[in-house]
C-alpha cells in the first residue's frame, strides 16, 4: 500500500477505540495526579527502557525522598541508585538525577517548557523533551518513542530508519490535532496489540487495511533499520554492562524453526540463549539453525532421537563446555549442559517430567539429588547461573489451579519439597526478586485455549547462587513470544 493511501485520522480513531480500556502510560498518570513539571521530568528520565510498573514503583520511592528539586539536591548518587533500582540503566539515570539540580540553575530552577532548553539537561534527549513539553505543559509536541517510530513505519505513513527521522517527518506531515495524543495512543497500542514480537494482527481493528510493512512470522521488522538489525549480530551490552540471558523450552527446535525461531533470536538478541527439549541431534539440523550469525552453539542431545535434549547459543565464547552430570542414565537423555566463563558457570537444564501416574517421580528425584550436589560444587568455585525447564511449579501462586493439581506431575509435594531444599541451600529464584505476585506463567497446555485464558504453570526458571544475587539487574517472563507451549524467561546479569 502506498503511503499516500493511509488515512491517518481513520487509523488513529481505530487505535483510540482499541486502547480505550488500557492503562495510560505512567508519565501521563503522574502528570494528571501531580501537575508538577519536576515530577514529570524525573519520571520521564526513569521511564526510558523500563516497564511502566517498574517506573511507577521507582518514581514513588524517589518522590517520597525528593518531591522537589531542592530535596533532590540533598541526595547522593549512591542514594539515588538504591531509590530507583531496578529501572533500566539505573546507575546512569542516578548520575543524571544527581546532576540535574546544578544544571537547572541556568533556568533559575524552573523546569523549562521548550525542547531546545530541555535537551540541555542531563539525561534528556529529544524524545524525553517532547514528552515533557506535551505532558507537563500541554503544549503541542511530537514525542516519538520506539512504538511510534515502529508503528508509523508498519503503516507506511513514514519510511524512516530512526525515531529522530520519524519525528522530523511527522512534524511536517501529521496534523497538529494529533500531536499531543499520538504517543500515548501508540504506546498503549504497541504494548497490547501491535507488539514488536508476536503482534496480534488477527485481533487488530486495522487488520484488513493495515499495510503490515515488515511483519513476518509474527515478528515486527517494520523499518529498514529493524530489518537490518534482524539480519545482523547485535551488541551484547545491556544496562550497567550487564548481559541478557534467555532460557526457552522450544518443544522441538525444528518445529520452532518453522515458526520463525531464528528471527526471534535476532529480535531478542540475548547474549546467551539456553534452549530445552530440542528433540534433535545436530546432524538433523539446518545450517541456519547450527550457525546463527553472531553465536557459537553447543549441543547435548539424547541418545534417543526426537527426545529431550538441550543446547546453548552464546555470543560469549566459553572456556569449557561440560555435557551431563557424569551419570549414564541421566546423561543419555541429554538433560544438562554447562558452559564455564571467567566469572561464572552457566548451567542449562531440562529436568525430567514425573510422568503419567508419577511413573518417573523416583527417577526425577534421583536426578534432582545428583544435580543439587553438582550445582553446590560449582557454586563453591565461582558464581552460577542455573536456568531451564524445572518441570515443577514451586508455590501455589506459580500455578493457576493449585488444589486440582496437588497429585499431578510437576506439583507433587515431593517435587516442591526438593525446590524448597534447593533454594534454602543457597540459591535464589530470580523472578521472585522482582515480582511476588501470582498469575505469571511460562507454560500452558495446548488444550482448551489455556494460553489465551492464562491457565498456566510457572515451571521455567533462572536461579543464581545467593552470594551473587545482586548481579541480577532484571528478571522477566516473556509471555508474548510464541512458537512453543512454553514462553522464554530472561535475566540481565552483571558479568
Render pLDDT for 276-291 as a digit per residue (tens, 0 to 9): 999 999 999 999 899 9
Separation CA 220–CA 194 (nearest Å): 8
pLDDT at site 195: 83
State the DSSP string of 88-138: TTHHHHHHHHHHHHHHGGGGTT----SHHHHTTSTT--HHHHHHHHHHHH-
- C-alpha cell, 277: 527439549
- Distance set, CA 314 to CA 145, 271, 372, 465 (Å): 30, 6, 24, 21
Residue 275 · residue 314 · CB < 8 Å: no
Region 396-415 average pLDDT:
96
- Check pLDDT > 60 for residue 223: no
Separation CA 88–CA 72 (nearest Å): 20
Measured distance between the N- and C-terminal CA atoms of the chain, rounded to whole angstroms: 46
- C-alpha cell, 327: 551419570
pLDDT at site 233: 38
Q: What CATH architecture applies to the domain 3-190?
A: Orthogonal Bundle (1.10)
- Check pLDDT > 90 for residue 201: no
Count CA within 13 A, CB hemisphere, residue 259: 14
pLDDT at site 225: 47
The mean-pLDDT minimum among 98-102, 211-215, 367-371 falls in 211-215
Q: Give the rounded percent of residues in the chain with a pLDDT score beyond 70.
A: 92
- C-alpha cell, 95: 548520575
Domain spans of the chain, in order of start = 3-190, 232-494
Q: Give the rounded percent of residues in the chain with a pLDDT score beyond 90.
A: 68
Is 492 among the catalytic positions? no
Residues 6+ apart with CB under 8 A from 412: 354, 358, 361, 406
Higher pLDDT among residues 240 and 85, named by residue: 85
- Check pLDDT > 50 for residue 468: yes
pLDDT at site 197: 64
- Check pLDDT > 80 for residue 388: yes
- Catalytic option among 28, 145, 271, 389: 389
Q: pLDDT-derived band of residue 32, with 50, 70 and 90 as boundaries?
A: low
Residue 256 · residue 276 · CB < 8 Å: no
Compute how many other C-beta atoms are within 10 angstroms of the C-beta atom of residue 228.
Answer: 11
- Check pLDDT > 70 for residue 118: yes
Backbone angles phi, psi at 358, to 5 degrees: 60, 35
Backbone angles phi, psi at 95, to 5 degrees: -65, -40
Q: pLDDT-derived band of residue 52, with 50, 70 and 90 as boundaries?
A: confident
pLDDT at site 34: 77
Strands (E), 368-421: 383-389
Range among 31-40, 257-266, 451-460 rated most confident: 451-460
Q: pLDDT-derived band of residue 90, with 50, 70 and 90 as boundaries?
A: confident
- DSSP annotation of 338 reads E
pLDDT at site 424: 95
The mean-pLDDT minimum among 28-32, 98-102, 163-167 falls in 28-32
Q: Give tens-digit pLDDT for 131-148.
A: 899 888 988 889 888 889
Region 326-347 average pLDDT:
97
Block residue for cell numbers 501508540: 186
Q: 232-494, which class in CATH?
A: alpha beta
Q: Give tens-digit pLDDT for 65-85.
A: 999 999 999 999 999 999 999
The interaxial angle of helices 182-192 and 146-154, nearest 10 deg, is 80
Q: What is the mean pLDDT of the chain?
A: 89
Q: pLDDT-derived band of residue 219, with 50, 70 and 90 as boundaries?
A: low
Range among 205-219, 365-379, 472-486 rated most confident: 365-379
Amino acid at each position: 500500500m502506498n503511503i499516500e493511501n493511509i488515512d491517518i485520522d481513520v487509523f488513529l480513531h481505530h487505535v483510540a477505540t482499541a486502547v480505550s480500556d488500557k492503562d495510560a502510560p505512567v508519565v501521563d498518570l503522574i502528570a494528571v495526579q501531580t501537575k508538577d513539571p519536576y515530577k514529570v521530568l524525573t519520571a520521564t528520565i526513569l521511564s526510558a527502557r523500563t516497564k511502566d510498573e517498574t517506573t511507577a514503583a521507582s518514581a514513588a520511592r524517589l518522590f517520597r525522598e525528593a518531591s522537589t528539586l531542592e530535596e533532590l539536591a540533598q541526595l547522593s548518587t549512591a542514594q539515588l541508585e538504591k531509590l530507583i533500582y531496578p529501572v533500566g540503566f539505573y546507575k546512569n539515570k542516578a548520575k543524571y538525577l544527581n546532576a540535574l539540580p546544578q544544571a537547572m540553575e541556568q533556568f533559575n530552577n524552573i523546569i523549562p517548557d521548550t525542547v531546545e532548553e530541555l535537551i540541555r539537561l542531563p539525561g534528556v534527549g529529544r524524545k524525553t523533551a517532547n514528552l515533557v513539553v506535551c505532558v507537563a505543559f500541554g503544549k503541542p509536541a511530537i514525542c516519538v518513542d520506539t512504538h511510534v517510530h515502529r508503528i508509523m513505519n508498519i503503516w507506511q505513513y513514514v519510511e524512516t530508519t530512526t525515531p529522530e527521522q520519524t519525528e522530523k517527518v511527522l512534524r511536517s506531515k501529521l496534523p497538529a490535532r494529533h500531536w499531543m495524543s499520538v504517543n500515548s495512543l501508540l504506546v498503549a497500542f504497541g504494548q497490547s496489540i501491535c507488539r514488536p514480537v508476536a503482534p496480534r494482527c488477527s485481533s487488530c481493528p486495522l487488520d484488513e487495511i493495515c499495510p503490515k510493512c515488515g511483519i513476518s512470522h509474527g515478528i515486527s521488522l517494520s523499518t529498514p533499520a529493524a530489518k537490518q538489525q534482524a539480519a545482523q549480530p547485535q551488541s551484547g551490552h545491556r544496562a550497567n554492562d550487564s548481559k541478557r540471558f534467555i532460557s526457552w523450552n522450544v518443544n522441538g527446535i525444528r518445529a520452532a524453526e518453522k515458526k520463525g525461531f531464528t528471527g526471534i533470536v535476532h529480535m531478542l538478541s540475548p547474549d546467551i540463549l539456553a534452549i530445552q527439549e530440542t528433540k534433535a541431534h545436530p546432524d538433523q539440523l539446518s545450517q541456519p539453525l547450527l550457525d546463527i550469525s553472531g553465536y557459537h552453539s553447543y549441543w547435548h542431545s539424547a541418545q534417543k532421537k526426537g527426545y529431550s535434549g538441550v543446547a546453548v547459543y552464546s555470543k560469549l565464547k566459553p572456556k569449557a563446555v561440560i555435557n551431563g552430570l557424569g551419570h549414564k542414565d541421566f546423561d543419555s537423555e541429554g538433560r544438562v549442559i554447562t558452559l564455564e566463563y571467567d566469572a561464572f558457570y552457566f548451567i542449562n537444564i531440562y529436568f525430567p517430567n514425573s510422568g503419567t501416574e508419577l511413573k518417573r517421580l523416583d527417577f526425577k528425584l534421583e536426578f534432582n539429588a545428583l544435580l543439587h550436589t553438582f550445582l553446590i560444587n560449582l557454586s563453591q568455585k565461582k558464581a552460577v547461573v542455573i536456568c531451564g525447564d524445572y518441570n515443577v511449579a514451586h508455590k501455589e501462586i506459580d500455578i493457576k489451579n493449585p488444589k486440582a493439581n496437588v497429585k499431578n506431575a510437576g506439583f507433587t509435594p515431593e517435587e516442591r519439597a526438593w525446590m524448597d531444599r534447593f533454594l534454602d541451600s543457597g540459591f535464589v529464584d530470580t523472578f521472585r526478586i522482582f515480582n511476588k505476585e501470582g498469575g505469571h506463567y511460562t507454560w500452558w497446555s495446548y488444550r482448551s485455549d489455556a494460553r489465551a485464558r492464562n491457565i498456566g504453570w510457572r515451571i521455567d526458571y533462572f536461579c543464581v547462587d545467593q552470594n551473587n544475587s545482586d548481579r541480577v539487574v532484571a528478571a522477566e517472563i516473556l509471555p508474548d513470544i510464541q512458537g512453543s507451549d512454553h514462553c522464554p524467561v530472561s535475566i540481565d546479569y552483571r558479568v
